[in-house]
Structure 1
């Protein structure tokens, strides 16, 4: 490598003693930060599209017609993204994630543009499916690329950013959907993706540099196609039965039989698949099976309600699209609050069974409360009911992934996590479809009853009011209240019918066995709990994610107290920290060290004095270097930290542990305890050691 005019190699610097030090890693490289920003934009697009559409749906169906097909605007996206998720993950491993991520963005943007230009409901539904194909790739690949860009020690920090994106979209999505619909056009709910996506695409193309790793897979194309087909057939039965076709019609019977046949074929294919999309052996584990069903229930209730509550607010309560988004906020806050608190409590206590029981119970109560709403309900009453419903969902969502991860062997960790989130996504598809079927069926009956014997104005009919709720405004004053009541009761009846499904989840939650938690699964990822899309990660990825999240706590004083005591030394926690820092660089100048950390100079100086007094370090100029005894102590501290990490893995760390798991713990420990790969910027994240 060439040297500059001062004879110093680029990427190095001289300290005040003239000693040349490597500072290339003192800051996160700018291109990495820019790349992660672009990945966040991609994730933002996919996450936002799950929530931004809900408050725009009443206006969309009013303009395009087809209230009975409203559910499919959401369902088409969910089904397509769910089916595509495992393919994006494995194709990215095999052919390079950068290229696949760019393709996913392009597909998503094309789908967004076509959705914005749709002229009828059938076009919109088809284009939403195309958008969902791209959205599934954005979800999976953005998180995977973070793992390519940053070492395990850093991942927890950036995963927090992605979690913040999901939290933000949960709040902003309904609001933005209402704002665009009310002040511009509902089409901008989709068009807004274009400028953001183009920026992300340009940045990814020019800045993103990731190592090309080809990991060959035997991709289960047939299994993916079959499970998507089974889900589609069953959702079609749920959404079209009793509305478009009678339940006993040949079409519904044919779809049901086709779904069963495809399910049988799927089971046969998965038994022989080298890398099955959903390993059947997982269903032999009671905890996985129960958690999968409860996940289905949670997705069913959450997305069914989120899709139809804006319709209730806008059509029945008469609020604007923007205000309907505001009215939804108590539910979102309840969900985020309960999800965060339950995750923290489980992490600290190791006890989790109470949360799926309480969560499904409160969700059932929330649905019954929502059933009580009508056109006369006050804002306070609605906000309270929405909050209770969100609270129930939040109590159970954060814990379900953790339960599954705790119940399976290391080799099945990745597919089990993917499987649990897959069932939540399929539940969301069913929830939206079945809510839609019940709503459409009840609405026709109740409007007919409301107008029986009444003289309707020219151009107004029951069918017209079903397709376009704007027709309510054209009704004579005497007919408007019963028509609004018909809409109100049709929507709230949906929640009554959903309550037994949530109650089933409550009953099943009692049968979960509360096994002792592994330490490494006490930090569930927000992207695994708040997204409707399933995740697609390997077992190695999941352990790396969990341990890296735990690793972000390494600066806490208690950690150094713990490893010092365990190693058998009587040292200040700051002295142990300083030993590992010196081990990292070979030499450390305390005054310079404090400039790059939040640790006070007095603490560093006191630690340095103790190391000198114990003959663990000695001065060479302004620097401290380790003595032979100091090197032995530092090595023992590092070994103790590795043992602590291994303990977090519980029974995964058995004598026959996989080689990649042992290597991961070794690599992560080296980063945490002071290898050359650790970035000095990490010192800024160190807590006070006083």
Structure 2
């Protein structure tokens, strides 16, 4: 493949490019399709590895012990990837995307190999954190690269591929993890990354050619550290609050105070930094600010609430872990359909505002349907609910990324991509904590009202334990779990309505094409107020 300065690009002359994109050079469709598989493979690895471990955790505990630290096998990965995401986005903007993308793949592969070789739970948690350090760069690198090589008007159809891959990973993760663990060993859920990641590494190195870039400014290390402290504090509050510690305990309150104090310090630092980790001026753009709030509530409502569906499926509906994953297939199908439709429509028309509005409305309907789950709800009925929810997700999620990237100059496309992922992860972490508290409260309340003997602390309920209960008590637990899950989705519905309401305020700034539009000049970003 030729270099990014080759003659087969579609150049955007300075007169037709908006500020910050003068002289931007986009790849042709053929070249994009050559690069795309490597980006999708990297994204698949990052998302899949976040989900594939869950089904292997019982085997891991049986082999390594350390059950009290079990949750950290997942938390360490999520925490490390969240903290490093802003760094990859900003450094890629400053010094070029490819070198950091390749570094992320290498770090991820090293963490995978070491995780498979772990001989203790402490080692596994440490090596999972190393994996996460690379995973943060895989996700933001893939999305930001699309922002650099594809004109905004064309991005929708290519971003739909990423949406399909993410939904595929969501369904396939638990299935693949369960199959590999059963057929081989839990260690192979990490070893399998080596040939796949190695192929992605070689492919990206061979096909991805981007223009060199260097911004002569000091790296905003202090801003990055403070952002990491904020993320760590929030995720630890979400992980420990109501489970390890009560919400009013000293550790939780200290973490909340640390998050607030770090946020104040972060804002002060970013105002003075020569090259801020997260430029505050971006939030003066109405669309950028709206997409950050939107993605936060998408993370809070979607990922927070979906956490409790497998428990409902594996207890009330009697599904095995493998079947539980398969039951989410309608969700993937629905989101894939609307994601592709929306992407193609945006490419043809250049208009996108209607899709997050429709997505928010359909997502609200889907969440309302799920708020009616009960003991007698059939798998067919829940499948229809998942289809509706998936249809809304497909219209919404990729459009949020597209609007965020279109709201900033080309030099900040990595920051926009990493900020979207950061806010989504923060929303998801807080959603799990908040809805976990709702779930546990309603579950215990329902059991107390029924005179049951079953009690839980936090949001943890083991399906195997529930299945082993006497029939009468088990039925009471089923009713209580249904009641608790209903309560979670009842609270999610207002959050979904808020997503719909916020989408109404998005301004439809024309998407820039690969060639200048002589009839309609590029619009300047609209400032808040």
Greater shift after overlay, 249-258 or 265-274? 249-258
> 2:80 touches 2:132 (CA, 8 Å); kept in 1?
yes
Cα separation, 2, equivalents of 1:68 and 1:384 = 37
> 1:367 touches 1:499 (CA, 8 Å); kept in 2?
yes
> 1:307: Cα distance to partner?
3.1
Structure-1 residue corresponding to 2:269: 269
Cα separation, 2, equivalents of 1:209 and 1:517 = 28
Structure-2 residue corresponding to 1:328: 328
SS at match of 2:523: helix
Question: Could you say if the C-alpha distance between residues 163 and 170 of structure 1 is closer, same or farther in structure 2, counting changes exceeding 3 Å?
Answer: same
Structure-1 residue corresponding to 2:384: 384
Cα separation, 1, equivalents of 2:401 and 2:322 = 33
Structure-1 residue corresponding to 2:476: 482
Structure 2 residue runs without a partner (length 5+): 1-29
> 1:229 touches 1:259 (CA, 8 Å); kept in 2?
yes
Cα separation, 2, equivalents of 1:297 and 1:107 = 31
Cα separation, 2, equivalents of 1:87 and 1:503 = 33
Cα separation, 1, equivalents of 2:506 and 2:74 = 35
> 2:235 touches 2:430 (CA, 8 Å); kept in 1?
yes
Structure with the greater alpha carbon radius of gyration: 1
Cα separation, 2, equivalents of 1:68 and 1:500 = 35
Aligned ranges 1:434-583 → 2 under 5 Å: 434-443=434-443, 446=446, 452=452, 466=460, 468-510=462-504, 512-520=505-513, 547=514
Structure-2 residue corresponding to 1:4: none
1:276-312: CA deviation from partner (whole Å, max 9, x where unpaired): 1222122223332222111111122222244332232
> 1:368 touches 1:496 (CA, 8 Å); kept in 2?
yes
Structure-2 residue corresponding to 1:130: 130
Structure-2 residue corresponding to 1:363: 363
Structure-2 residue corresponding to 1:677: none
Aligned ranges 1:674-685 → 2 under 5 Å: none
1:88-119: CA deviation from partner (whole Å, max 9, x where unpaired): 34555777866645543343234335555778
Aligned ranges 1:10-159 → 2 under 5 Å: 41-53=41-53, 76-91=76-91, 100-113=100-113, 115=115, 127-141=127-141
SS at match of 1:479: helix
> 1:174 touches 1:328 (CA, 8 Å); kept in 2?
no
> Normalising to structure 1: TM-score of the pair?
0.60
1:53-101: CA deviation from partner (whole Å, max 9, x where unpaired): 566679879997979985x665543442232123234555777866645
Cα separation, 2, equivalents of 1:451 and 1:62 = 35
Structure 1 residue runs without a partner (length 5+): 1-27, 521-546, 548-641, 654-690
> 1:370: Cα distance to partner?
1.6
SS at match of 2:307: helix
Structure-2 residue corresponding to 1:650: 522
> 1:432: Cα distance to partner?
3.2
SS at match of 2:318: coil
Structure-2 residue corresponding to 1:215: 214
Cα separation, 2, equivalents of 1:127 and 1:446 = 41
Cα separation, 2, equivalents of 1:448 and 1:183 = 42
SS at match of 1:258: helix
Cα separation, 1, equivalents of 2:339 and 2:290 = 20
> 1:46 touches 1:135 (CA, 8 Å); kept in 2?
yes
1:401 aligned onto 2:401: yes
1:426 aligned onto 2:423: no
SS at match of 2:245: coil
Q: How many residues align?
A: 490
1:430-461: CA deviation from partner (whole Å, max 9, x where unpaired): 33343344444544555566664x5x9xxxx8
> 1:178 touches 1:325 (CA, 8 Å); kept in 2?
no
> 1:78 touches 1:428 (CA, 8 Å); kept in 2?
no
SS at match of 1:278: coil
> 1:38: Cα distance to partner?
5.8
Question: Could you say if the C-alpha distance between residues 418 and 376 of structure 1 is closer, same or farther in structure 2, counting changes exceeding 3 Å?
Answer: same
SS at match of 1:389: helix
SS at match of 1:301: helix
Cα separation, 2, equivalents of 1:395 and 1:98 = 30
Structure-1 residue corresponding to 2:311: 311
> 1:326: Cα distance to partner?
1.4
> 1:254: Cα distance to partner?
1.6
> 1:215: Cα distance to partner?
1.8
Cα separation, 2, equivalents of 1:294 and 1:506 = 9
Question: Could you say if the C-alpha distance between residues 437 and 127 of structure 1 is closer, same or farther in structure 2, counting changes exceeding 3 Å?
Answer: farther
Cα separation, 1, equivalents of 2:183 and 2:445 = 34
> 1:45: Cα distance to partner?
1.4
> 1:301 touches 1:498 (CA, 8 Å); kept in 2?
yes
Cα separation, 2, equivalents of 1:325 and 1:111 = 26
Question: Could you say if the C-alpha distance between residues 189 and 484 of structure 1 is closer, same or farther in structure 2, counting changes exceeding 3 Å?
Answer: farther
Question: Could you say if the C-alpha distance between residues 362 and 78 of structure 1 is closer, same or farther in structure 2, counting changes exceeding 3 Å?
Answer: farther
Cα separation, 2, equivalents of 1:68 and 1:480 = 28
Structure-1 residue corresponding to 2:27: none
Q: Give the aligned CA root-mean-square deviation in angstroms.
A: 4.3
Question: Could you say if the C-alpha distance between residues 244 and 505 of structure 1 is closer, same or farther in structure 2, counting changes exceeding 3 Å?
Answer: same
Greater shift after overlay, 463-472 or 490-499? 463-472
Cα separation, 2, equivalents of 1:369 and 1:163 = 23
Cα separation, 2, equivalents of 1:469 and 1:396 = 33
